[in-house]
């Protein structure tokens, strides 16, 4: 548009059809938005059975059936109009909301951008069917049906080609709709839900308790036997939470589910509160699996701040944050903490660590290995005099018969053997099964064995040095639709790493090939695959760091002197002496610092 055209423009009132399409874009942007609004209406109508059908990810058709209170003919004549609602009648009602929907925008927005047909029946009146195109009624007639409502939405954005071209593939839209459906179903376990995609039933969720609903929805990701239920009240709110064992942690926050008055919301402060409650029980950079439900007095929370109601203003948020941390932490510490025990919660949930490396004795029997991480930083206790004395007594003795399947040293070296590289390195031994002790000239080094091996593996993965091997028995696993859609787009990256994946059926996959160094950590690899929903730019480095961490030698794992020597040699040759997550690999203590510490000159 040129300047002359701009100067000649005059303010005008938009036609109703244009205004409705603009308003529709605020509420309905993709098929999952339709699913969200229709589910809200069904739940608000008091339904105890809800059925959702999708065709081509909702691009072709979305059909929702409920057995709620239904609508009369008079209600049908109004329901598709802007701001028509039965849920509020005044501005004051916005501060005392008892329903999921309240704006009266859902059906009018859908009617403005899709073909809409509604069939509904109340207990006292016959069924009627309403058809709407581009916001205008083209038919309202007596129909047949049982009590409740059937909403049929087809050809989404058929009249808005500019919006339609930004829709994603049917697979991606199905994944987004599934996520929305599961979020709603999780918050209402007393309602029976059925979910179909392209004629195939994906979920049948019977009514029951919250614990049962979580078990049904996340049976492939969470062991229901390790879920801890927490209830608490305080001030103007009540808390109900389901918490996983700390052993079932993840690498991102996606598995912290927060609901306020049964609405899923994105409130960082509440997610942070859950994380704080677990903080002393999890490895660094890990997050729990948790389901937090808060019931807050309606006048203390405002949901009218986001078109999708994903955000809320909560008046007493700092108080709630504190109470959530206190309530969850007290239960978690009581169940999982063991003061003075290095194993902490891992002893109670040791069955969950099937993929943890185990040291092997000379007689072929397995020897218990300490957990990958201590329960808290405080449990990495400071060296005491007796430990150093014991170390000195054992330093000159090689173990009778120890081996490590984590690092295979090709060097046979006695203690004190120097390398040809300058400066010479002397391997002194392992301390607390956590650190390797090395002397170089007049410097003493404490090398973090896990961080060092993690960095070495990370560099090898980056440079493509790992040797691939075929698994004798493929490792099977399942993925949710959203996870599967992301994985499909990144198969080439995994192939380049030596990880071969094959899709056996929708949601069912197999690992057929792995790098030799990743053998035995298949469960950890699947966990990493599920966690990597990051941007393309950061995906490679995050995944490489994740897999290197899982394959690396663990804290608490005993190394024989040969393997310790080789790991120390490689660690001291690293160009970047930090693990992929940024932690330093070693601590250096000079001869002068030691002299000062003991008062020598």
Name which residue leads in pLDDT, 121 or 283.
121
Residue 571 lies in a domain: yes
Confidence grade of residue 568 (pLDDT, cut at 50, 70, 90): confident
Query: Are residues 216 and 196 located together in one domain of the fold?
Result: no
What pLDDT, on the 0 to 100 scale, is given for residue 338? 43
- 170, 200, 230: which is the final residue of a domain? 200
| Residue 557 reports pLDDT greater than 70 | yes
Alpha helical stretches, state H, 189-294: 210-217, 268-278
pLDDT in tens, 117-143: 999 999 989 999 999 998 889 999 999
| Residue 440 reports pLDDT greater than 70 | yes
What pLDDT, on the 0 to 100 scale, is given for residue 68? 94
Q: What CATH number has the domain bearing residue 302?
A: 3.30.230.10
- 267, 302, 336: which is the final residue of a domain? 336
Residue 417 lies in a domain: no
CA distance 236 to 582: 42
Looking at the structure of the chain, the number of domains it has is: 3
Name which residue leads in pLDDT, 553 or 182.
182
pLDDT in tens, 349-359: 332 223 333 33
Identify the DSSP state of 425. Answer: -
Residue 383 lies in a domain: no
- 301, 336, 371: which is the final residue of a domain? 336
Query: Are residues 169 and 220 located together in one domain of the fold?
Result: no
Q: What CATH number has the domain bearing residue 166?
A: 3.30.565.10
Query: Are residues 185 and 244 located together in one domain of the fold?
Result: no
Identify the DSSP state of 498. Answer: T
Name which residue leads in pLDDT, 568 or 524.
568
What pLDDT, on the 0 to 100 scale, is given for residue 393? 39
Least confident interval from 22-36, 342-356, 577-591:
342-356
Query: Are residues 272 and 196 located together in one domain of the fold?
Result: no
Count of all residues that appear for the chain in the document? 601
Least confident interval from 199-208, 339-348, 498-507, 534-543:
339-348
Place of tokens 């956590």: 434
pLDDT in tens, 192-205: 999 999 999 999 99
What pLDDT, on the 0 to 100 scale, is given for residue 180? 94
Query: Are residues 75 and 106 located together in one domain of the fold?
Result: yes
Indicate whether this model's pTM tops 0.75.
no
Query: Are residues 432 and 566 located together in one domain of the fold?
Result: yes
Residue 377 lies in a domain: no
Confidence grade of residue 487 (pLDDT, cut at 50, 70, 90): confident
- Answer for the pair 566, 411: CB distance below 8 angstroms, yes or no: yes
What average pLDDT does the segment 575-581 reach?
Answer: 76
What pLDDT, on the 0 to 100 scale, is given for residue 346? 35
Query: Are residues 196 and 217 located together in one domain of the fold?
Result: no
Residue 354 lies in a domain: no
Query: Are residues 80 and 194 located together in one domain of the fold?
Result: yes
Name which residue leads in pLDDT, 283 or 358.
283
Q: What CATH number has the domain bearing residue 493?
A: 3.30.1540.20
What pLDDT, on the 0 to 100 scale, is given for residue 391? 34
| Residue 585 reports pLDDT greater than 60 | yes
Residue 494 lies in a domain: yes
- 10 Å Cβ neighbour count for 546? 22
Query: Are residues 288 and 328 located together in one domain of the fold?
Result: yes
What pLDDT, on the 0 to 100 scale, is given for residue 203? 93
- Respond yes or no on whether the N-terminal peptide bond of residue 238 is cis (omega within 30° of 0): no
CA distance 462 to 497: 8
What average pLDDT does the segment 421-439 reach?
Answer: 80
Domain housing 233: 212-336
| Residue 315 reports pLDDT greater than 60 | yes
The gap between the terminal CA atoms of the chain, to the nearest Å, is 83
Confidence grade of residue 481 (pLDDT, cut at 50, 70, 90): confident
CA distance 294 to 232: 10
What pLDDT, on the 0 to 100 scale, is given for residue 88? 55
Residue 402 lies in a domain: no
Name which residue leads in pLDDT, 239 or 160.
239
CA distance 518 to 525: 8
């Amino acid at each position: 548009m040129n300047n002359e055209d701009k100067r000649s423009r005059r303010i005008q009132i938009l036609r109703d059809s244009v205004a409705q399409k603009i308003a529709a874009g605020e509420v309905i942007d993709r098929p999952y938005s339709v699913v969200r609004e229709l589910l809200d209406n069904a739940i608000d109508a008091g339904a105890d059975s809800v059925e959702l059908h999708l065709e081509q990810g909702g691009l072709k058709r979305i059909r929702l059936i409920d057995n709620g209170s239904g609508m009369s003919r008079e209600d049908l004549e109004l329901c598709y109009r802007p701001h028509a609602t039965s849920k509020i009648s005044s501005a004051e009602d916005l501060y005392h909301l008892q329903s999921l929907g309240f704006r009266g925008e859902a059906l009018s927005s859908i009617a403005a951008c899709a073909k809409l047909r509604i069939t509904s029946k109340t207990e006292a009146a016959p069924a009627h069917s309403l058809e709407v195109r581009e916001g205008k009624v083209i038919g309202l007639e007596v129909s047949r049906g049982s009590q409740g409502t059937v909403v049929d939405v087809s050809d989404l954005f058929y009249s808005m080609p500019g919006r339609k071209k930004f829709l994603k593939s049917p697979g991606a839209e199905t994944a987004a709709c599934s996520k929305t459906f599961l979020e709603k179903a999780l918050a209402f376990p007393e309602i029976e839900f059925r979910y179909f995609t392209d004629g195939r039933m994906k979920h049948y969720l019977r009514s029951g308790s919250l614990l049962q609903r979580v078990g049904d929805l996340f049976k492939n990701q969470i062991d229901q036997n390790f879920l801890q239920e927490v209830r608490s009240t305080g001030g103007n709110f009540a808390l109900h939470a389901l918490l996983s064992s700390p052993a079932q942690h993840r690498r991102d926050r996606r598995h912290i589910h927060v609901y306020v008055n049964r609405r899923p919301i994105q409130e960082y402060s509440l997610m942070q509160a859950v994380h704080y409650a677990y903080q002393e029980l999890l490895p660094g950079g890990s997050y729990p699996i948790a389901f937090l439900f808060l019931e807050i007095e309606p006048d203390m929370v405002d949901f009218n701040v986001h078109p999708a109601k994903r955000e809320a203003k909560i008046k007493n948020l700092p108080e709630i944050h504190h109470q959530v941390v206190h309530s969850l932490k007290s239960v978690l510490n009581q169940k999982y903490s063991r003061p003075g025990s290095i194993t902490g919660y891992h002893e109670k949930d040791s069955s969950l660590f099937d993929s943890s490396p185990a040291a092997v004795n000379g007689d072929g029997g397995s020897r218990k290995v300490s957990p990958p991480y201590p329960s808290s930083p405080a449990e990495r206790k400071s060296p005491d005099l007796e430990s150093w004395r014991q170390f000195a007594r054992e330093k000159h003795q090689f173990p009778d018969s120890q081996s490590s399947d984590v690092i295979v040293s090709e060097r046979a070296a006695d203690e004190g053997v120097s390398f040809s590289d300058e400066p010479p390195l002397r391997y002194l031994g392992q301390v607390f099964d956590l650190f390797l002790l090395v002397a170089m000239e007049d410097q003493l080094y404490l090398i973090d064995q896990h961080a060092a091996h993690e960095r070495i593996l990370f560099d090898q993965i980056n440079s493509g040095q790992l040797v691939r091997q075929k698994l004798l028995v493929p490792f099977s696993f399942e993925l949710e639709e959203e996870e599967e859609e992301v994985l499909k787009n990144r198969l080439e990256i995994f192939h380049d790493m030596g990880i071969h994946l094959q899709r056996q059926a929708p949601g069912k996959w197999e690992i057929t090939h792995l790098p030799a160094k990743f053998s035995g950590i298949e469960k950890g690899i699947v966990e990493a695959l599920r966690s990597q929903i990051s941007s393309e730019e950061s995906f490679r480095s995050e995944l490489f760091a994740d897999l290197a961490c899982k394959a690396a030698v663990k804290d608490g794992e005993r190394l024989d002197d040969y393997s310790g020597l080789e790991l120390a040699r490689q660690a001291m040759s690293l160009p970047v002496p930090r693990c992929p997550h940024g932690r330093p690999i070693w601590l250096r203590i000079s001869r002068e610092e030691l002299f000062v510490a003991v008062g020598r000159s």
